[in-house]
Structure 1
């Protein structure tokens, strides 16, 4: 089979890519890698799960980066004589680096493949952790954080896309949510290990996910949809056969992917005028909207300053409590992984955002009442416990849907011919919103804790409306079916 046979205008779709360098001349090398992988992976579902577990090391690195600053604040400030503002700068630089990585992620994943972009993302992460571990002043500390952020920005786009492109449609939701589960595991590991080791050792431990990821990438196949788009027909079919199992008939899926790629290749240039068409603007609006709302609900700001709420509830060991909260997030996200392909994306998003709205409102009311109740009264301590319960329910609700599903849906609904650009824009918007929330949360909490949670309540209520009106159900449909439905 070849693309020349199926393409209506008779063009060889591989020609535009033959001059782009040795990276694409990897037919024999890719085949040998896949044949060695094939000896390990005989069953299709085992193959896909193995691939997902390898690339999930990237999101673990992502979560470890996010969680690192919480248990290390006092140690870094004391050892390097930093001010609070300098440490805040250190924390926020990960978001800045991630925004740069997000801008580049789509094009990197497009031109050198999903595996290649993960390889590129792993290298600055390793260098960044080493720079932090051996830093003697703030300059190396800041440089390391920027490098980490860049790698995380690339990972945050590439991993969901790779998982979506290799997964069978009946497993895509559950496997896609492994991305967010891995992020929460990374955050929890940073919290937990931070209880026992100093910040330099913790930075060295941060290298481990990427040092395992790099060799692991040589034992998994490239995304078959990317290979098809690049015109590498034999590698595309070999990759898909490895992923689906050697006894599986893949002819129907092969033809679907080929038709989709041939259709998208007829128009190689997308102009802004074309974005007026519903097949482009609608999935772009849904993808960006979900990823921005995920952050504007204030979840990162709330988690970052959760120690304030723990102290108000009378809990003395805020680090241990934060670690417990991280464990709750891991368990809740694990439940989401199990439910994703059973309940569906849309229903879980509605339940999750509704639960967040109620939880935020509960915390807001508790803080408003604390302001008018005497600190010596029993009611004051009850309100502190109430705010703690609201925070736990908030994390559970977030983990059941809003945490994982926006990334899954973004990787499913964006059309093939705008995925690299649109995915980069959506990922950039997510990191920009995260930076805004992280930078403003402390100021808002200082202004008014009740007022802060009221603002977040309004945003989560809007998220419920957004999901109800515009988010489609993608459960049980192939990527080609989902994307063609927007036409």
Structure 2
């Protein structure tokens, strides 16, 4: 077929090693603006954990209602994922992030002003829709503006900022004194408590909710402002036929004295090669040439979710309570440990490669779920009563809360659908059997480790064009 590269045919000149470029301030600043969306991903997704007791008490929600509230976030994510790729191509990467920020701000406002389950669920649905866009566009934008030498560190920083958002919502939701919380909530939103329908002393959980949702607005607002000052992706501009703008954007990203002619040619050649192939319908992604890409992407997303990735993040506070361990101490411990753990992965990403780190994370998931399930077994059998809660703490602390990478629209939809199934059923499964729940997660986590070992390739030191060519021209 025209435009295809045979196995024996050497790749085009983008295969040749390119001289290392130093990180420029424009790339660093642009990446930080995009990463504000990553903070919001972590903050919004984990919001349901520390807020559970306050929301259920204030609004009188049942377990089923709260499970729906927690999981509807992922339903919104499905809708966002269905359009994220087309949206990013139609309005550009910056335009897609702006739209996501609008939905994010609307979602947080709906949650903070909610007086019943309907507005609470609507706000969380809007947040999920925003995150469904951001989850795809942020790593795409960062990958497209960075060099292959720095891409690993910035895409790993995406995970660091997601985990920072998770830690932030855990700490705000647990540690702040309720009187200070009430005062901060009042001044932050410029709304008297009476306008929100709760008293100053009787319903301090609502102030916890107020501060958490108010703080959730900050990353979206910062990103919305920052987007005015960063360049558009040169790859998107080239694809849109704006070659001069693409080269100008690339020059701004690499520095005014940098020679960008070779990189611009690489991008142009790749766009031309892809343009020779019919875009066709969505069903064409199921061609044999894309089989390996789909299997790897869908497999990673499915197994990570069925291993309990989001279930633990969404309900970690209640898991500690069920295990008889202090939810305050446990949640804060998770918040403190998680950031250094992910920071290590950011530092080591380009040194050892992404595949070994993904394998290590999968092994950590498996061990974590096994220890947590074992601790609940001890509790159910009334054995080692002092040891069981400690095992839960150890298990949760070694669990990599969020290890997902970027994905295309179909794979992102798979991610959110699987996430919905896990987060909605988690509370019901815990009522059925705490130990059984985590042993099931253990099986899926072990399967993830085997899957990565056998199928997932290394991407260290390779350009986006090289990765794409190697995957699509070496199908399963």
The TM tier, using the shorter chain, reads 0.7 to 0.9
Alpha-carbon distance in structure 1 between the residues aligned to 2:223 and 2:145: 18
Q: Tell whether the 8 Å contact from 1:353 to 1:463 is kept in structure 2 after alignment.
A: yes
Residue number in structure 2 paired with 1:429:
414
Residue number in structure 1 paired with 2:58:
79
**What TM-score do the two structures reach when normalised by structure 1?**
0.81
Residue number in structure 1 paired with 2:388:
383
C-alpha deviations, 1:68-119, integer Å up to 9, x for none?
2222233333333444433332222211111111111111111001100000
| Equivalence map 1:117-136=2 (5 Å) | 117-136=96-115
| Equivalence map 1:88-127=2 (5 Å) | 88-127=67-106
Alpha-carbon distance in structure 2 between the residues aligned to 1:237 and 1:229: 12
Q: Tell whether the 8 Å contact from 2:70 to 2:314 is kept in structure 1 after alignment.
A: no
Residue number in structure 1 paired with 2:211:
201
2:224 to 196, 214, 218: 214
Q: Which moved more, 1:47-56 or 1:299-308?
A: 299-308
Distance 1:361 1:74, change over 3 A: closer
* Number of residue-to-residue matches in the alignment: 422
| Equivalence map 1:21-60=2 (5 Å) | 44-60=23-39
Tell me how far 1:251 sits from its aligned partner: 1.6
Distance 1:191 1:297, change over 3 A: same
Alpha-carbon distance in structure 2 between the residues aligned to 1:164 and 1:152: 18
Residue number in structure 2 paired with 1:407:
405
Distance 1:150 1:273, change over 3 A: closer
Tell me how far 1:386 sits from its aligned partner: 2.3
C-alpha deviations, 1:377-428, integer Å up to 9, x for none?
xx321233123212212x2xx26xxx34x414x4xxxxxxxxxxxx111111
CA RMSD of aligned residues (A): 2.2
| Equivalence map 1:467-482=2 (5 Å) | 467-482=452-467
C-alpha deviations, 1:453-479, integer Å up to 9, x for none?
221111111111111111111100111
Q: Which moved more, 1:176-185 or 1:110-119?
A: 176-185
Tell me how far 1:235 sits from its aligned partner: 0.9
Residue number in structure 2 paired with 1:464:
449
Q: 2:431 aligned with 1:446, yes or no?
A: yes
Q: Which moved more, 1:282-291 or 1:271-280?
A: 271-280
Tell me how far 1:315 sits from its aligned partner: 3.3
C-alpha deviations, 1:35-88, integer Å up to 9, x for none?
xxxxxxx97432212111101111111211112222223333333344443333
SS at 2:458's partner residue?
coil
Alpha-carbon distance in structure 1 between the residues aligned to 2:96 and 2:162: 18
Tell me how far 1:140 sits from its aligned partner: 2.2
Residue number in structure 1 paired with 2:249:
239
Distance 1:261 1:357, change over 3 A: same
Q: 2:339 aligned with 1:330, yes or no?
A: yes
Alpha-carbon distance in structure 2 between the residues aligned to 1:448 and 1:78: 24
In the alignment, structure 1 segments of 5+ residues that lack a partner are: 1-7, 9-41, 411-422
Alpha-carbon distance in structure 2 between the residues aligned to 1:359 and 1:80: 33
Q: Which moved more, 1:221-230 or 1:68-77?
A: 68-77
Distance 1:359 1:76, change over 3 A: closer
